[in-house]
Structure 1
Amino acid sequence: MRYLIIDDEPIAHEIIKEYCDLLPHMELMKNCYDALEALDYLREHTVDLLFLDLNMPKLKGFEFLKTLSEPPHVIVTTAYQEHALEGYELNITDYLLKPFSFQRFLKAVNKVALSPTARTTSNSLHTSLKNSIFLYSDKKHVHVKLADLLYVEAAGNYAKVVLTGSTIVIREKISDVLELLPSSQFIQVHKSFIISKNHLQTIEGNRIRINDIMIPIGKHYKDNLKTSLKL
């Protein structure tokens, strides 16, 4: 995933690059210290993702964004939360408030990777990004293939991610995990469970069987499940 950092603060460039260097397939194309420098670069080159600051000299971040006829994915990085609504009206992917943790940064990048419109350098790279996510568990970042993910079970402020052959416990609410997963493959069936449609074996009354594990179907989720599976 080719990216630009557009920020007038050198320390911001250092933090973003340090975070990106921890992830596979992330390639820094250029450090831009104002929006005009980025415009010059984008006239001749294309990228998949912009990390964009808002409060910059010469040309503000959103003013710059409005000049782009076909902008790539954009993750805003700023100290000012009052511009969030305008950002989402401009179809940004995520809005990170400085200072942000690696875990929050990772969630934003995962949204880009899972987007059906993600621009990538090759079809094989697109498949790799689209079909996997990174989860933070036990002080390390675990690369998880979506094809291996059976179900997610809530446990308070934690979630248990059950894979074929292993289980990962992460400090995330189940609602946050659901945001990371493509709705075409995963669905919430209970306040405490998200399942993989691909691994669903049987539906027996108000229970689902996945790998010989019985998972309850909440009454508020049953109609949505039937619609999703065209039952």
Structure 2
Amino acid sequence: MSVKKRNGALDLPGDNSFSEEYITLGGSGKAEYSERKSVFIACAAPVKSSSEACEFVKKIKTEYSDARHTAYAYLISSENATRYSDDGEPQGTAGIPILGVIQKGGFTDAVITVTRYFGGILLGAPGLLRAYTTAASEAVKKAGIVRYTSFTEFCVICNYSDYQKIISEFSRLGIREDKTVFEDSVCLSLAVMTSGYDTARDKIKDVTSGRAKIDITGTRFDF
């Protein structure tokens, strides 16, 4: 038996099989913004769950324990969870604008905190909204945004002569070969963008005159 295997499969947070695109932060990001002597320190990170988001907030609050406020927001798609906190700022001036940065950015499974060191000058609601939004946005820029596409994983079992016909279609159909096992028959573990699965399936049936056995085995998100 011989095996060919493709490396680099991604383990993305959450169950996002309902969507054909998954957008999240590419990593952690940190930014600082000043507004009339108040300093706002924003930290953004990708997270897999609400508990992980809460741990991140706790860590930031410990790191900046001498600050007056650490507002935050997070959104976890797999749990349908959206949370935010003004942490003592006037209602709606901190947590909501941070959440707005996440929602307007179209990404998910992310947490953003903004810690404020008060500079002695009251900013008023407009100033706070601007400061928290700007700081959060800058942290997101530092973190970067990545987009993943939904791929349908499927298995094809065929004879050796049909194998050559099938692989000749890979490039045109955008099929990725994850693993191939050569025994009495050939068993191919393949993946293709979900939007192109029906076309790929029908073409494989066509070139093998219906002899190939095709079964969906799962979904994943990949570049």
The TM-score, its normalising length taken from structure 2, stands at: 0.23
Greater C-alpha radius of gyration? 2
Structure richer in strand, relative to its length? 2
